[in-house]
Chain A
Amino acid sequence: MTPTTGYVLAAIACLVVATFVTRAGFLLVGERLTLSRRVDAALRFAPACALTALVVPGIVSPEGALDLSLGNPRWLAALVATALLLWRHSVLGGIAVGMIAYALIRLWLV
């Protein structure tokens, strides 16, 4: 059954509301809510944790199961990119080197 236009519009409206509530909600409660110093200190680590949680599954388990073999070009390419980033930090360089490694590994190994 093809979803009707009204249904798709309602689904999109849900996405809009959910996005707004999660992203802006906490900013808008403003001064009425004070976070404890501990929680505030903990949130310093949010970037490191969120970023790794976002990227790790796609890198070491792209097909849905842990794959650290030569048959998974993503983790090898990510390894190359990480080595470059540790040596010299450049977002653009990381993307370029990672994508080139990804292409070459797929060309030769897979």
Chain B
Amino acid sequence: MRRPWLDPDWRAEFRSGVRDMLPAFPGIFAWGLVTGVAMVKGGLSVPMALLMTLVAYAGSAQLASLPLIATSAPIWIIAVTALATNMRFVIYAAALRRWLLEYSPRRLSALGYISGDFSFVLFMNRVAREGAFPHRDAWLFGLALLNWLVWQVASIVGIVAGAFIPAQWGLEFAGTLALLALAVPSCATRPGATGALVAGLMALAGQHWPYKLGLLSGVVLGITAAMIVDGLVESTDGERRS
């Protein structure tokens, strides 16, 4: 459909997406705020920081690029760093793809560009429960749009009020807690818990690797571990699983 928002069912699903993202509000806000503050303290002028947050919606890549920009590092290094810090989104997109095949390239571009960590996890949880429910593009769009909006408002507040927000408040920890809250239920199965354990240990071991490669290796190795355990579970009680 060319104008899906004319369909009341589509709008209802969109609204329910917005509602389902609300609990993560404080975590996203705190994180956006900290990122906004970091941009101006990292040496960007207020207009440049505003432009960066509005067009480049990628928290970790933004933070990673700041010290490089401050020292006028070669542009290609910034490009490589931004690609590498965003690598986990390739895995997210690969996982989302089969649920979104039927939508137009334009809609997929928009959905992809504004889907972050939170929307991805919530979407995957719901399709795992309900399968390909109708108007899932609307629901994902609702999730992602609220996430985007809260992040942008918080970032802008951080950029403008940067000088008045002390780092000692530890606000960024609220973002960590929001992700932790999503992580706990996804570790409920034995393969999920094993994968998470391996991913966490690997990310810790590779904490100082360049380009957030520790994070990426953690995700890849964690998924592999989860698959191995899943294979073991399947071979021991294959009958009960489908």
Q: Chain A residues in contact with chain B, CB under 8 A?
A: 1-3, 5, 7-12, 14-28, 30-31, 35, 38-61, 64, 66, 74, 77-78, 81-82, 85-86, 89-96, 98-99, 102, 106
Contact = CB atoms under 8 A, between A and B. Distances in A.
A53 B184 contact: no
Nearest to B26: A95
Interface in B76-116: 78-79, 82-83, 86-98, 100-101, 105, 108-109, 111-113, 115
A40 B230 CA distance: 13
Given A18-B82, A18-B83, A45-B192, A94 B204 contact: no
Given A41-B227, A42-B223, A64 B218 contact: no
Interface of B: 23-27, 43-44, 48, 51-52, 55-58, 61-62, 65, 68-70, 72, 75, 78-79, 82-83, 86-98, 100-101, 105, 108-109, 111-113, 115, 117, 120-121, 124-125, 128, 170, 172-174, 176-187, 191-193, 195-204, 207-208, 214-215, 218-219, 222-224, 226-227, 230
Contact of A78 (B78, B180, B186): B180
A46 to B, nearest CB: 5
Contacts of A55: 176, 179-180, 183, 200
A27 B225 CA distance: 26
A91 B192 contact: no
Contacts of B86: 18-19, 22-23
The majority secondary structure among interface residues of chain B is: helix
A46 B48 CA distance: 34
14 contacts: A7-B72, A16-B55, A24-B108, A28-B108, A46-B223, A47-B125, A47-B186, A50-B92, A53-B202, A64-B207, A93-B181, A94-B178, A95-B178, A99-B173
A24 B93 CA distance: 7
Given A21-B83, A45-B192, A56-B200, A89 B185 contact: yes
A88 B97 CA distance: 32
Given A44-B128, A91-B182, A53 B61 contact: no
A75 B88 CA distance: 24
A10 to B, nearest CB: 5
A82 B181 CA distance: 7
B117 A95 contact: no
Contacts of A90: 23, 181
Given A19-B86, A44-B128, A27 B48 contact: no
A27 B114 CA distance: 13
B205 to A, nearest CB: 9
